[in-house]
Amino acid sequence: MILELLIGLCLVGAVVVFVAPNRYASKLAAGWSLLPLALSVFMYATFDGQSNALLGGQLAYETMVSWVSLGPYALNWHVGLDGISMPLVALSTVLTTAAILAAWTPIEERESQFYGLVLFLEASLVGVFAALDFFVWFVFWEAVLVPMFFLVAIWGGPRRKYAAIKFFVYTNVASLVLFIGFFALVFGLGNSINSLDLPAIAQALRTGQLSAVGGVAPETLKVAAFVALFAGFAVKVPVVPFHTWLPDAHVEAPTPVSVLLAGVLLKVGTYALLRFNFTMLPDVARQYAAIIALFAVVSVIYGALLALAQQDLKRIVAYSSVSSMGYVILGLVAYTVYGVGGATFQMISHGLISGLLFACVGVIYNTTHTRMVGDMSGMADRMPVTTSMFVAGAFAYMGLPLTSGFLGEYFVFLGTFGADFPGAPWFTAIAMFGIVIVAGYLLFAMQRTLFGSFGVETDHAGSGAVTDGGERTHNGRRANGGEHEHGDVISPAAAHDIAPLAILLALVIVLGIAPEISFAMIRDAVSPLLAAGGGG
């Protein structure tokens, strides 16, 4: 019942913080978030799962209790973790605590509601990664949308309502599409299943129990369902061309929310792709591997090029997430240990690195009140600790050895180059070129924002930059009074702003030096998928 305790702690914390007075909310939320964090660390340390959650075998912390019936199908409370979901649960708790600490400075209104929604979001994320019954999983999947919508719509920037509605509409339509695709498979399985249990459905599909539905042949039905599921999850990832909601959501969201959005919410989409598309329907995935790889490579290159063209530091990091998620898709379609395992490792690595970079952007914005790269020249002299963390995170994003970013990309490239779908080496080579573009836009952004003569440069239009508060900065002047031009002194960031940066950077380095901390359990969960006919 330890998983139930973890989810329960998050939910109870959400309620307690939501009703607490605003003046206590930030510290109460931070203290409470340490409880699920400590519990997830304990679960990670004592983890003993040695199989894939959908393919049978020994799972960790598994619970299955009969619930209710929905027509001919039984709904069960079925949760459990394998080596794929356990690191993602731990990532969720780590980034939630980091986001709460990062929110202490910028969030000054309706604090109880803000922190309560963040803890509710944490509970929903843990539920998505742990649920093994489709109905339970879908409830958590949809529950993620609710706090994220309000966090962007209430505490976001000037266009927060537009960004929140766009995010909600995109993801809600995607949920409807994937729901239709999944139940097409359920109806096609007929009497071979009597529940919505995901392992049972996966086993039935892989053993050829699917039959025609409405005159649609089983093979055609599988392809149609695969496309519907892929489209539904691709919006969440996001994969080009379904990515247009992401930059708006990131730019308008408060920076602590961007930490969770890039660090964990995008992984919900890639995790679902791995569970549903690549585990339940491996034959379809392998049949159309080259097309899927094309989507992945386009996301890598196009996302990096879009980041190269941006002037807003937050938008640069947002578009870089589109590029990084392309590597995950490329690894999944390889169906090799290092391909699928590397894709999962890349999810964890990107979650930590993107969380670190967004948190750094938030600390810089809290001081300068601008995110435009032309307005922040010379920040390295004024905020050496924060800028050092940003530089380290940027180099990890570029794949610097001894960081998790290097190993995540290396595993994916190693696994994909040896894959057996048509053109695999070429797709891998083109994707590797994306690293060059990543290095280009990150180095260019750092050169303009962190180094040089402080306060000399202006934004690309020469007329200032719109800040989160809707005000404009001109020639390096702060929007909230005072100036930070030339020799003016900038106060150092508070300890609670620096602490999450240091923790995330330490984890990036630890995983880069000792990847077996997570890759060993990932490999144990991936191997049954390949041995069962998914790949080699």
Q: Whose CA is closest to 140, among 200, 83, 85?
A: 85
SS3 503: helix
pLDDT for the residue 24: 93
pLDDT of 347-358, one tens digit each? 999 999 999 999
pLDDT for the residue 532: 57
In this prediction, residue 372 has a pLDDT band, given cuts at 50, 70 and 90, of confident
In the chain, the amino acid numbered 363 is V
| Predicted TM-score of the model (pTM) | 0.90
Task: Round to whole Å and give the CA distance between 405 and 352.
Answer: 9
> Does the pLDDT at position 114 exceed 80?
yes
Tokens of 328: 């995950």
CB 316 within 8 A of CB 441: yes
What is the rounded average pLDDT of the residues 344-370?
A: 90
> Does the pLDDT at position 81 exceed 90?
yes
Phi, psi of 534 (to 5 degrees): -75, -30
pLDDT for the residue 533: 54
> Does the pLDDT at position 483 exceed 90?
no
pLDDT for the residue 244: 86
The CB density around residue 145, as the number of other CB atoms within 10 Å, is: 18
Cα R_g (the chain), whole angstroms? 23
> Does the pLDDT at position 306 exceed 60?
yes
Q: Whose CA is closest to 356, among 321, 314, 390?
A: 390
Tokens of 135: 């109905």
pLDDT for the residue 479: 35
pLDDT of 2-23, one tens digit each? 999 999 999 999 999 999 999 9
What is the rounded average pLDDT of the residues 137-165?
A: 93
Phi, psi of 446 (to 5 degrees): -65, -40
The CB density around residue 187, as the number of other CB atoms within 10 Å, is: 13
In 237-376, which ranges are continuous DSSP H helix?
A: 245-252, 255-260, 266-272, 282-287, 289-308, 313-334, 337-368
What is the rounded average pLDDT of the residues 332-336?
A: 93
Q: What is the rounded average pLDDT for all residues in the chain?
A: 87
**Angle at 118 (CA atoms; ends 442, 123), nearest 5 degrees:** 110
pLDDT for the residue 535: 55
CB 407 within 8 A of CB 512: yes
Go through 10-23 and write b for each residue having 16 or more CB atoms within 10 A of its CB, e for each that does not: bbebbebbbebeee
In this prediction, residue 480 has a pLDDT band, given cuts at 50, 70 and 90, of very low
pLDDT for the residue 303: 87
> Does the pLDDT at position 39 exceed 70?
yes
pLDDT for the residue 108: 87
Phi, psi of 66 (to 5 degrees): -65, 140
Phi, psi of 473 (to 5 degrees): -105, 145
pLDDT for the residue 283: 92
pLDDT of 309-329, one tens digit each? 888 888 888 888 888 899 999
What is the rounded average pLDDT of the residues 274-296?
A: 94
Tokens of 356: 């670190």
Domain boundaries, the chain: 2-534
The residue ranking higher by pLDDT, 270 or 438, is 270
CB 7 within 8 A of CB 130: yes
Task: Round to whole Å and give the CA distance between 513 and 496.
Answer: 26
pLDDT for the residue 135: 94
Task: Round to whole Å and give the CA distance between 160 and 119.
Answer: 21
Task: Round to whole Å and give the CA distance between 524 and 154.
Answer: 42
pLDDT for the residue 228: 96
In this prediction, residue 492 has a pLDDT band, given cuts at 50, 70 and 90, of low
In the chain, the amino acid numbered 20 is A
For residues 437, 440, 444, 450, the Cα torsion angle rounded to the nearest 10 degrees is: 100
What is the rounded average pLDDT of the residues 379-383?
A: 77
